[in-house]
Structure 1
Amino acid sequence: MGRAEKTIKKKRKWLWITLSVVGVLLLSTAGYAYSVWSTAAKTADSIHEELNREKSDKRDEEVDFENLDPISILLMGVDEREGDNGRTDSLILITANPKKESIEMVSIQRDTKTEIIGKGIEDKINHAYAFGGAEMTINTVENFLDIPVDYFVKVNMESFKDIVDSVGGVTVENSFAFDYEGESFPKGTIELNGEEALKYSRMRYDDPNGDYGRQERQRQIIEAVIQKGASISSLTKFGDMFAVVEDNVKTNLSFDDMWKIQSNYRSTIGDIETHELRGTGDKINGIWYNIVSEEDRLELSNMLKEHLEISTSTASQ
């Protein structure tokens, strides 16, 4: 395996961290925007990208922020190249319910086999972006999970370290000492900057829990950034975060949407549950896919529907 291929694979592992952090920053940091209103509004305008619809086909009515309707946000990590639409290297669905004061965060494997809505074929879910951009990706995820996707946040895959640094670093509780890529991580409470957080999240082979241990460290970073971002009151730090967002993010959330979400949904960040949609690896016609069982898909779909306060169903795809 060449160095370039190794680098690409490593980057993919951290995209879902970046996505989660950016998505929740949009939920949590707008609360201080009154003090930097002009900058915040300008940033929101520069990253705005409309969809060709007013609401999801899976909703009877548009979301009412004042009524505290639960919402869903699809976070997409995109590797776009010149002359190439690119693919989503990471997909995370967030549902936020202000009445339950909670967030459900679901990571969807990029190789998951499903129907690509609008293309009429079954393929890896991350190929939907290459075929039809954000719109086709959203429609495909909606069909796969049978829930509405109200909003999306699309982020450049390179911005993870900048996000951690923009909140002034993070503090985590490390369960065992280890060294990785020239850095030492002692057991106990440790403080990490962006570069260190990336390496802390990356190690897997020396972890007694393997990939599950790595995923736990990734969740630590996500939650640490969320809590740090929610408590920031520095104009300088907000300026740093706006710069990161402006350079790396597109979303169909307007500034008014962000303001209303912050005002009415801020309590949701106090209770965040993370989930992985696991499957089994299988080769079909020489191509590797992640195959999710119908039972697991329906269980997750119904959990998300309950959190979104819409009727559950056991109907198949």
Structure 2
Amino acid sequence: MTKSETSYDEPFKRGHKKKKRKILRFFLIALFVLIILLGAVGGKAYFDLKSVINKAYVSPPTEMTSVSLKNKEAFTTAVLGISEIKGKEVLVSADMAAINPRLQQTTVINISTSALLPNHQSLGTLYNSGGAPAVIKEMEELLQVKTNKFVKIDFDQIGELVEAIGGLSLQNARAFNAQGYNFPQGTISLKNSTEVKAYLTLLNESDSKKLFARQQELVMATMTKLKNPQVIIGHFSQILAAFPKVFRMSFSFENFKALVVNYHGATRISKINIHSDKMEGQSGVTTISQANLDLAKIQFQESLK
């Protein structure tokens, strides 16, 4: 890549590592909301929920190892967050989760999409060339685990969920205009998907990192509001309608019923961090050493036992 070229990995550098962990928590909270609803509702609402989960279902992008949720087996889930930047679908985040009912814990490991791995490639570059199958295969090799389930989060559709929960307020770091909307610095309110789309507009070449920060701020604000039971009850049908637009997954309705019965205790989230280092002589480039990867790999494998 020459100096004049723009990397699609650029927004996702080391400075945003802590915020990226919120992305998987965002899905897990949405998942737990559906699990709670499944355990609490009956009649028509039950069948509405079944329809939504069926709509969200997709076949995994690559062959995955089967697991018995009815037998309470620990299992892994690859969670990939994507977004479109300048007409190109980009990998925003890559997480692997281990859900273990025996430990009553969900263990989350995030692998930077821009850091160079020991094979001198990044997950972002792999996604550009081979899509989700290439990324999942690489994550399996890095962690020495098999993937059982798959989730795709489409961040370009998050506005649908924001509108479904009645809008939200968040902190905007700097004032800007986009698509006919004015977003002043400070607390702003986003009420519908059109406003959210404008808020997440890539303003120019230098706006990549700021766009990523806005995206993460929106995720955290949405996640916070989804934790409110009154919001869930008051916007039940709207949340159900928005869910399959944002989340696509290889969990069937039967899987969800098994999660309600056997995995409801695994809501405690444990994080495993993979340390990355700056590459000497190359500004903004980070690497993950084999030694740091091995430490994280051992911890993650233990979380499945």
TM-score by length of 2: 0.68
**Letter in structure 1 aligned against 2:34:** T
Q: Match of 2:206?
A: none
CA distance in 2, matches of 1:283, 1:162: 42
Amino acid paired to 1:20: R
SS in 2 for 1:267: coil
1:308 to 2:304 alignment? yes
Measured in 2, the distance between the counterparts of 1:184 and 1:288 equals 29
In 1, the alpha carbon distance for the partners of 2:256 and 2:226 equals 16
Call closer, same or farther: CA 1:223–1:258 in 2, change over 3 Å.
same
Q: Which residue of 2 aligns with 1:75?
A: 79
How far apart, in 1, do the equivalents of 2:29 and 2:298 lie?
Answer: 23
- Whether 2:96 is the aligned partner of 1:93: answer yes
**Residue number in structure 1 paired with 2:69:** 65
Residues 1:294 and 2:286 aligned together: no
Aligned counterparts, 1:96-175, within 5 A: 96-114=99-117, 122-160=120-158, 163=161, 166=164
- Point out where structure 2 has 5 or more consecutive residues left out of the alignment: 1-5, 175-183, 200-216
* Alignment map for 1:161-240 (pairs within 5 Å): 163=161, 166=164, 180-181=173-174, 182=184, 224=224, 227-228=227-228, 234=233, 236-240=234-238
| Alignment check: 8 A CA contact 1:282 1:290 kept | yes
Structure 1 residue 301: Cα displacement: 0.7
1:253 to 2:256 alignment: no
Report the CA distance between 1:90 and its aligned residue: 0.9
**Superposed displacement of residue 232, structure 1:** 6.7
8 A contact 1:113–1:124 mirrored in 2: yes
Could you tell me how far apart the structure 1 residues matched to 2:190 and 2:103 are? 32
Letter of the 1:244 partner, please give it. Answer: A
**Structure 2 CA distance for aligned equivalents of residues 193 and 273 of structure 1:** 32
Instruction: Give distance in 1, aligned partners of 2:61 and 2:81.
Output: 21
What CA distance in whole angstroms lies between the structure 2 residues aligned with 1:293 and 1:122? 10
Change (3 A) 1:16 1:100: closer
User: Structure 1, residues 32-85: CA drift from partner, whole Å, max 9, x if none?
Assistant: 2343222222222222221366633xxxxx32212221122121111247975x
Residue 160 of structure 1: CA displacement? 4.7
Any conservation in 2 of the 1:16–1:77 contact (CA below 8 Å)? no
- The answer on whether the counterparts of 1:279 and 1:293 sit within 8 Å (CA) in structure 2 is yes
SS in 2 for 1:250: strand
Identity across the alignment (%): 14
Q: Which residue of 1 aligns with 2:279?
A: 282
Q: Give the partner amino acid of 2:71.
A: N
Task: Give the SS at the match of 1:139.
Answer: helix
**Higher strand content, 1 or 2:** 1
Number of residue equivalences: 261
Question: Is the alpha carbon distance of 1:248 and 1:227 closer, same or farther for their aligned partners in structure 2, counting shifts above 3 Å?
Answer: closer
- Residue 92 of structure 1 aligns to a residue whose secondary structure is strand
Deviation at 1:24, TM superposition (A): 3.7
Contact 1:106–1:276 under 8 Å retained in 2: yes
Q: TM-score, normalised by structure 1?
A: 0.66
Corresponding residue number in structure 1 for 2:22: 17
Relative to structure 1, the CA distance from residue 301 to residue 232 in structure 2 (aligned partners, 3 Å threshold; closer, same or farther) is farther
Instruction: Please give the root-mean-square deviation of Cα atoms over the aligned residues, in Å.
Output: 4.1
Distance 2:92 2:79 in 1: 11
**Residue 39 of structure 1: SS of its match in structure 2?**
helix
Contiguous gaps of at least 5 residues in structure 1: 57-61, 116-120, 172-177, 186-191, 200-216, 310-317
Q: Encode CA deviations 1:229-266: one digit per residue, 9 max, x unaligned.
A: 7x8761x4332322222212221111211221132111
The answer to whether the 8 Å contact 1:48/1:254 transfers is yes
Quote the Cα distance in structure 1 between the aligned partners of 2:125 and 2:153: 16
Question: Contact 2:172 / 2:185 at 8 angstroms: preserved in 1?
Answer: yes
